[in-house]
Structure 1
Amino acid sequence: MIFRLSDRNMANDDIPDLTLETRQGLPDALRVLLAEYPRIGWERDPGFDGLIRFWLDRHVMFRRILDTLRQGTEALIDKDDSPERYRILVSRYGGMFVNGLHEHHTIEDTHYFPRLAQRDTRVARGFDILDRDHHAIDADLNAFVAGANAVMMQAEDRDALQNAAGAFRDQLISLERNLNRHLLDEEDLIVPIILKYGTKGLG
């Protein structure tokens, strides 16, 4: 299976001090609602079930898929798994990850972010940061697709497969780091907004 990722328009106006690759979290000015609704109390809040739980479950799924792919790639590199089983793993989870994450981000960009940004002007700028993250992650996904395809095309040559898997592992590590930073910041921004203002108008 060869993966393809739909093109998205790349943003040129980045925020240097808050780029996905370098930031350690959202600035305090965008965490005002998180102070009111800290993570430790989310699941006890009556507004947690429904949309928030579903949305966070999707984030858990993306993290687990990447972890499964990285562990599988490391097992192949260590020769603890067969090329046949490894290609099945990449084919199954690679397509699921790319398609699922792309769809998830598209829905956020076109539906949720514009509506949520209007609910509290104090944190509205955070949605510009999250949108820029999506463009940065698209670049990681393009590298992921190229790496997955390189692995899938090495059907017979074990040495070539090992080399392709090594490069793919490096891409997975970078993608895991960037995606986790984005998901954590997105959760810290969005969950408190929904807990405070509810889900009306979000569909």
Structure 2
Amino acid sequence: MTQDNALRARDRLPDALRVLLEQFPRDMWESHRNFAGLVEFWLDRHLMFRRLTEALREDAEAGQDRKIDPQAMRARLSRYGGMLVGQLHGHHQIEDAHYFPVLARREARLETGFAILDKDHHAMDGLLARFTESANAVLQGGEPGPFRKELLSFERLLHRHLEDEEDLIVPVILKHGAEGLH
């Protein structure tokens, strides 16, 4: 993988890895016969991650502006932050151990894409560690400003990864079905 394909450096997957996305564009996913079930569930998980980061960002901004009770903000940060970190780790483990190998065998020409996504997961381990350290500082009474800054960086990279993952994986599942992935 080149540095250009590193999570921090890219603005999308290389065109060579988006070939199935051309055949299965996003605007037709929900109407495809293979959408219901696994794809729908998997996209819902991604939506949950996006919503959690959005809620955390809104709370951090409200905390900076003194528009939320600090104790309430910390309670929400503990709940939503813990959920985000735990669920992301589990999600990535399942993808790395099961989904990515199966899907890469189904579309060998996209194997590089799965390697990029796997590298993203390793990069996200460091991002999650920094996120957790920054969140813990707020939970211990620190100001939300530094956490918000860390969260903005984390959120941008998480969204980049989720979008690229969807662009690669959903078309493969739509094309081949979800057999052997459950």
The interval holding the TM-score normalised by the smaller chain is over 0.9
The reply to whether residue 105 of structure 1 matches residue 92 of structure 2 is: yes
- Distance in 2 (alpha carbons) for counterparts of 1:78 and 1:17: 37
CA apart distance, 1:31: 0.7
CA apart distance, 1:43: 0.5
Larger radius of gyration between Structure 1 and Structure 2: 1
- Distance in 1 (alpha carbons) for counterparts of 2:87 and 2:19: 31
CA apart distance, 1:151: 0.7
RMSD: 0.8
- Distance in 2 (alpha carbons) for counterparts of 1:88 and 1:31: 41
Scaled by the length of structure 2, what TM-score is found? 0.98
Aligned to 1:15: 2
Q: Pick the aligned partner of 1:168 from 147, 153, 156.
A: 147
- Distance in 2 (alpha carbons) for counterparts of 1:141 and 1:32: 31
The AA in structure 1 aligned to 2:153 is S
Structure 2: gaps of 5 or more residues: none
Structure 1: gaps of 5 or more residues: 1-13, 155-160
1:118 match: secondary structure: helix
Aligned to 1:7: none
Aligned to 1:143: 130
Q: Pick the aligned partner of 2:108 from 96, 107, 121.
A: 121
Q: Pick the aligned partner of 2:175 from 196, 200, 203.
A: 196
Aligned to 2:80: 93
Aligned to 2:157: 178
- Distance in 2 (alpha carbons) for counterparts of 1:169 and 1:111: 34
1:194 match: secondary structure: helix
- Distance in 1 (alpha carbons) for counterparts of 2:135 and 2:2: 30
The reply to whether residue 54 of structure 1 matches residue 74 of structure 2 is: no
- Distance in 2 (alpha carbons) for counterparts of 1:119 and 1:75: 46
1:151 match: secondary structure: helix
- Distance in 2 (alpha carbons) for counterparts of 1:30 and 1:139: 25
Scaled by the length of structure 1, what TM-score is found? 0.88
Q: Percent identity?
A: 54
CA apart distance, 1:15: 2.8
Aligned to 1:72: 59
CA apart distance, 1:121: 1.6
- Distance in 2 (alpha carbons) for counterparts of 1:102 and 1:120: 25
Aligned to 1:84: 71
Q: Structure 1: which 4+ aligned runs deviate by more than 6 Å?
A: none
The AA in structure 2 aligned to 1:201 is G
Higher helix residue share: 2
The reply to whether residue 133 of structure 1 matches residue 120 of structure 2 is: yes
- Distance in 2 (alpha carbons) for counterparts of 1:80 and 1:182: 31
